[in-house]
Amino acid sequence: MKKGKKTMTKKRTVAAAALIVLLISSCARLPAPGTSPRLAAPDGGWVARTLKKMTIEEKIGQMVACRFAGSFRNADSAYLRELDDLVAKSGIGGLILFGGEVYETAELTNAFQKLARVPLLMASDFERGTGNQVTGATLFPPLMSLGAAGSEELAYGMGRVTALEGRAMGIHMAYAPVVDVNINPDNPIINTRAVGADPGLVSRIANAFIRGAQDNGMIATAKHFPGHGDTSQDSHSLLPTIEAGLERLEKVELVPFKAAVDAGVRAVMTAHLSVPALDPTPGLPATLSAPILTGVLRQKLGFRGLIVSDALEMAGVTNAFSTEEASLRAVLAGVDQLLLPPEPAKVIAYLAGAVRDGRISLQRIDESVRRILETKAALGLHRDRFVRIEELSRKIAPRPFLEQALKTFESSTTLVKNEGGALPLAAAGGKIAVLSLSSDLGDYFAGRAFVTAMRKRFPDAAAFYADGDTGQEALDKAFTEASAAGGGTVLFALFSKVSAGKGSVDLEPKHVDLIRKFAALENGPAVVVVSFGSPYFLRHFPETDAYVCMYRNTPETQDIAARALTGEMDVAGKLPVSIPGLYPVGHGIVLKKRIP
């Protein structure tokens, strides 16, 4: 019996040891929390074998990417059936996430990957982190906030968190960072999406984001080549023209792109812009221009990565070209992947016909498909294309990621003007009125979180709300009641979104007039303005007492603004753009935290 017990014990010990080894080896195959696969040298053998097996249609399919939403749909919905056909039958090479939830996004990326013969390249517009598109993921401020903070460490951290969360949900590529140099205060579509107006600052911050993303397994995309920062028009609605000469382009617009290429960025997105200094062809978008994409980007800047178009559904292209013609011209110009072409199956058939009748060579198609396959191999998708749903609760929005984002929001807060020591607001005493003014229709309560935060500190604060549709009578009433604050303070919270097709990010003129009326009062209240959007608003009312830039409207920025106004935190951000005629790039007043 004793000998039998010994033998049994020994067997159990061996079995336990084997189980431990098995568990360890199994865990080794799973990415640890907070880590992600590194980008690697592509598997040339897999790329060559895959390319060799493809038909012309399958090759062209790899060059097309379509949209999907990470939200619940019944498996039998027409929406999912259409996407399933594009993946399984048309063989598209990629999908682009436009909004969704964490678990639904991951479930769908796995489902689509299962259907695809060749792994899909999944991408999304993660300009403000994964939270920019996925509810519940970590949300960062826009890149102009990074410019205001001036911190490469924060920019790297933002890129890292974006990569780790994105890869956990099955997204491999961020259409970020924006490296446009925003030198036009009236730019309606770039504005706070850009780092700033100084090419050196843009390069430094953007490259840190690129390193953070690519060091942690996500393809970064520098956009919008050759530079969308000097226009007052939106390429979603029409074709803007950049009138600058070659010398200015080389000193401003092209600088961050050259820096990004030198830093090893893996992808560049084109712009739907006419740039006569680089290609004088009338009405030709850069997306369709061989002199710009092949001549400047490939040959002059030496870029060897993936060129992706901006969305081919945008009016900057569709106003002058059919989808088929635009797609053919884009590929001839040097584009590797066509994003969001209307009727993608028709585009694939059209381009296949163009190869067969000699309008485009098979060699040109193979060049792009090889780059796409190399990108997928560098991501390791040929070995494992699926994500592990059970890990999402640990990998998405953990406390360290949220703290990283909060620090980024806080560090960007910029005090531009503070006449007569209007800030910080006194801890007690004096009347406070808060006017939330949104220039967007239907956004009446845009400043609700700010009003709530201020009333926690000043319980008797009066509050007024208006949006772009609020009538003059209501604004006059707000003026009458708020001006009764006498020697107190009137706080203006200003909101105007950057959004496609809107045409402007400026303020509603009636709101500007209201602020000016308060500023003109003799012995009236101190006028403090907080911009939760464009920093350029101050041009309309330079006579105000204090001006603070937050660069974005989120619940976080509204709470941080209240803390900044009342001296509960250090304020040290610097303007990443100039406010014409008033303040230069780099201006900012340091306001130290009030000691209790």
> Which CATH number fits the domain that encloses residue 182?
3.20.20.300
Domain of residue 435, residue span = 413-565
Q: Residues 140, 158: contact at Cβ < 8 Å?
A: yes
Residues 170 and 240 in one domain: yes
Indicate whether 2 pLDDT > 90.
no
Q: Is 492 in a helix, a strand, or coil?
A: strand
Indicate whether 6 pLDDT > 70.
no
User: How far apart are the two ends of the chain, measured CA to CA in Å?
Assistant: 76
Residues 471 and 366 in one domain: no
Q: Which amino acid is at 144?
A: M
Provide the pLDDT confidence category of residue 3 given band limits of 50, 70 and 90.
very low
Residue with tokens 């007052």: 232
Residues in contact with 136: Cβ distance below 8 Å, sequence separation at least 6, in sequence order:
101, 102, 396, 397
In a domain, 351, yes or no: yes
Sheet arrangement for strand 432-438: 414-418, 546-549, 526-531, 489-495, 432-438, 462-466
In a domain, 310, yes or no: yes
Paired residues of 121 in beta bridges:
94
Please tell me the distance from the alpha carbon of residue 306 to that of residue 276, in angstroms, as a whole number: 24
Residues 372 and 502 in one domain: no
Q: Is 94 in a helix, a strand, or coil?
A: strand
3-state DSSP of 40-52: CCCCHHHHHHHHH
Residues 363 and 444 in one domain: no
400-420: pLDDT as tens digits: 999 999 999 999 999 999 999
In a domain, 186, yes or no: yes
In a domain, 214, yes or no: yes
427-443: pLDDT as tens digits: 655 789 999 999 998 89
Q: What is the pTM of this model?
A: 0.92
Residues 328 and 254 in one domain: yes
198-249: pLDDT as tens digits: 999 999 999 999 999 999 999 999 999 999 999 998 889 899 999 999 999 9
- Output the six-digit token pair for 511: 């709101």
In a domain, 15, yes or no: no
Please tell me the distance from the alpha carbon of residue 257 to that of residue 327, in angstroms, as a whole number: 24
Residues 365 and 449 in one domain: no
Q: Is 310 a catalytic residue?
A: yes
Query: Residue 296 CA to chain centroid, in angstroms?
Result: 25
Residues 385 and 429 in one domain: no
Question: What are the φ/ψ torsions at residue 355 (nearest 5 degrees)?
Answer: -70, -45
Residue whose C-alpha is closest to residue 589's, from 423, 348, 409? 423
Residues 185 and 282 in one domain: yes
In a domain, 407, yes or no: no
DSSP code of residue 72: -
Q: Is 469 a catalytic residue?
A: no
Q: Could you give the angle at the alpha carbon of 412 between the alpha carbons of 406 and 415, nearest 5°?
A: 130
In a domain, 31, yes or no: no
The active-site residue out of 172, 228, 236, 382 is: 236
Please tell me the distance from the alpha carbon of residue 189 to that of residue 273, in angstroms, as a whole number: 13
Residues 100 and 192 in one domain: yes
124-169: pLDDT as tens digits: 999 999 999 999 999 999 999 999 999 999 999 999 999 999 999 9
Residues 341 and 481 in one domain: no
In a 10 Å sphere around its CB, with 0-12 CB exposed, 13-18 middle and 19+ buried, how is residue 99 labelled?
middle
The active-site residue out of 310, 336, 443, 467 is: 310
Residues 387 and 423 in one domain: no
- Overall number of domains in the chain: 2
Residues 540 and 500 in one domain: yes
